[in-house]
Amino acid sequence: MESYPEGSPAPLPGTVVERFRVVGPVTTPDRAWALVGDTDWMNRVADNGAVVSMEVKRQADGFPLLVGEMAGPLGMRLGFSEVWSSWVHGRFFRQVRDLASPLVARSDYRASLEPAVGGVRPVVEMALTGPGWGSLLRRGLSLGAMERKWHAALEALVVGDGEVGAARELGPEARAALARWRDTADRTMVDRFEVHYRQARPMDLARIRPFVLADAWSVDREVMLDTLLSGVDAGATEVFWSVRCVRCYGQVAGGRLLSDLADHAECPACGVRSQTDLGDNVEVMFAPHPSVVTALDVNFCTIFPARAPAQHAVLTLAPGDRVEVETVLPTGEWRLGKGQGLADLDVHAAAEGADRVAWRTDAAGRVDVRAGTVTLDAHNDTAARARVQLTREGGAVPVVPASLLTTREQFRRRMGHQVLAPDLRIGVRSVALLFTDLSGSTAMYEALGDAQAFAVVRDHFAMLRAAAAEHDGTVVKTIGDAVMAAFYDASAAVRAGVAMQERVQAWVPGLGLEHPPSLKVGVHVGPALVVHSDQAGLDYFGGTVNLAARAQGAAQGGEVVWTDAVHADARVQALLGSAGLAPEPFLRPLKGLGEVRLWRLAGAPRPS
């Protein structure tokens, strides 16, 4: 490896370098990139030892240096530091590590995709730097064996999904868990998961993104999420809560329990500290239960292409360095910068614009580029190292935000033990809250007596809970004869509220009461604090809760009332239009808020 457009670290003095180069067959760009962009898997294939621990440490000059340990010979661990990491998505990936080893001082891995008829050819180059021992270095590291195994890995791209090596064996306990899973979920889906558990690469198995896998398998996303949730009951899957950096979208914290989360997180790679928010930066993933597949030794950070799908390009620059590289930039909004407290340059890729983006340390503002081939011109005009990232705004893959999972009845039913630490308050950017009240219940108690009236109230709770669950929501708690329910979006809450009214209105005539009860429903959407309560487990607190309750208080029996925030939601407007519903606006003074406009719907048909 002599000269590359992305630059190189300074060579180590007094050493020799041994190299080899492997060229793979013609395949699709996505398949080739998925393999060569996962260096942890490539090392496993070559029996080089996987990474067993790593973390990003910010250096004195602000540079985010990845340090860790790799499995070495005879069970030893070799320390490493990643001094250079650069890539452009779908073009090349360069990773240089300095090692604490008597045989190897540095490993320099570079993979590139070369255009070919019918696709691309993956090319992998490796340079190992060691003391001046020449052939001893090559023999001691078995470079020939490494070369042959990597060649086999690339050849597998033609006939499979890039998997190399024997499939995992699943023992009796695993087979029993899969059998239980088949009893509670679609058997065809569980059969596919059994194959996935046997054959998937560690990275793809240790952190399963439900919506990404659903899209890859061409199945409904909701079906995939429900299948994975049912696997928790069966002891076949488990949940992982991943806290993501709000800038680079890399994982900065996480755990298998909600109680593992803290109220804030800091990304050492970006130098960004953010509040933990179940809607903004906590992603739900799944993994096989350890009794099914032995806990997978996979580490995560933002300095791997396969680990960082939101990163389109990453460039490491020494002080004073300037590099120019080409990339194919899709339409969308992007951020270009080094973080560490500096502003990013906003890049807007559309049909018209420039074909070049120039970045300097003080770059800020916005640049418009033409989607397609764009030249990145990055100049580190400081005396400190820099790692510059081109990131897709909002991330690049569909994720399951924690606020989606925690507002589903399946979560409450199957994982009610998952609660926040008692003294923790975590935000959620947006949650739709629905309150109900059974108007006229006092007269019902007088007419029926306590025992029979309580049974009626209990039956109405069951109807409301079922209606909430059918619309992807959950009852958080009951308060007397009232209910508080939570939904991921406002349209689902409105649908549920109308369904509740329909069911109650069809049910109360059968009670045979002279003055039957009626239901009042109120809905509001907005930010809230997620807290722990002994009654509800996960509960909500704050102004959104209060306003939802007051909207319910403004309703008459048989009405669903909601706020302007709900009415302004595009999905609510689409629902109203498709169902032919015409809510009526009205003004109502609310305590502490003055006169507020609300919307009422009475006697409406159930929306489709």
DSSP sequence for 352-406: SSBSEEEE-TT--EEEEEESEEEEEEEE--SSS-EEEEEEETT-SS---BHHHHT
> Cβ distance 305 to 113 under 8 Å?
no
For the stretch 565-586, pLDDT in tens is 999 999 999 999 999 999 999 9
Contacts by 223-229, CB closer than 8 A, 24 or more apart: 223/186, 223/189, 224/189, 225/400, 225/405, 226/185, 226/410, 227/185, 227/186, 227/189, 227/190, 227/193, 228/286, 229/408, 229/410, 229/411, 229/414, 229/415
For the stretch 188-237, pLDDT in tens is 999 999 999 998 877 788 889 999 999 999 999 999 999 999 999 899 99
Rounded CA separation 71/49 (Å)? 5
Could you give phi then psi for residue 283, rounded to 5 degrees?
-105, 140
Written as six digits, the tokens of 129 are: 């730097």
The model's confidence at residue 489, banded by pLDDT at 50, 70 and 90, is: very high
Rounded CA separation 562/547 (Å)? 10
Geometric angle at alpha carbon 161, from 158 and 163, rounded to 5°: 100
Residues found in the chain: 608
Written as six digits, the tokens of 376 are: 């990145």
Q: How far is CA 22 from CA 25, 117, 147, in A?
A: 10, 19, 7
> Cβ distance 68 to 51 under 8 Å?
yes
Geometric angle at alpha carbon 172, from 169 and 173, rounded to 5°: 105
> Could you write out the three-class secondary structure of 261-286?
CCCEEEECCCCEEEECECCCCEEEEE
Rounded CA separation 265/183 (Å)? 39
| pLDDT(303) > 70 | no
Amino acid at 211: F
Rounded CA separation 198/193 (Å)? 8
Tell me what the mean pLDDT of segment 93-98 comes to: 93
Amino acid at 406: T
Helices 221-234, 172-184: axis angle to 10 degrees equals 130
| pLDDT(121) > 80 | yes
Rounded CA separation 41/48 (Å)? 10
Residue with token string 């909207």: 551
User: Residue 538's CB: how many other CB atoms inside 10 A?
Assistant: 24
For the stretch 540-560, pLDDT in tens is 999 999 999 999 999 999 999
> Cβ distance 569 to 557 under 8 Å?
no
Q: DSSP code of 411?
A: H
Rounded CA separation 319/10 (Å)? 11
Residue with token string 């000269």: 3
Return the pLDDT at 584: 95
The model's confidence at residue 591, banded by pLDDT at 50, 70 and 90, is: confident
Could you give phi then psi for residue 233, rounded to 5 degrees?
-60, -40
| pLDDT(604) > 90 | no
Written as six digits, the tokens of 5 are: 């457009």
Return the pLDDT at 268: 84
Tell me what the mean pLDDT of segment 504-515 comes to: 85
Domains of the chain with CATH codes: 16-159 (3.30.530.20), 168-405 (no CATH), 416-602 (3.30.70.1230)
Rounded CA separation 173/197 (Å)? 14
Rounded CA separation 65/84 (Å)? 9
Return the pLDDT at 12: 86
> Cβ distance 385 to 328 under 8 Å?
no
For the stretch 33-91, pLDDT in tens is 888 888 777 777 776 667 778 888 888 888 988 898 887 665 678 899 999 999 999 99
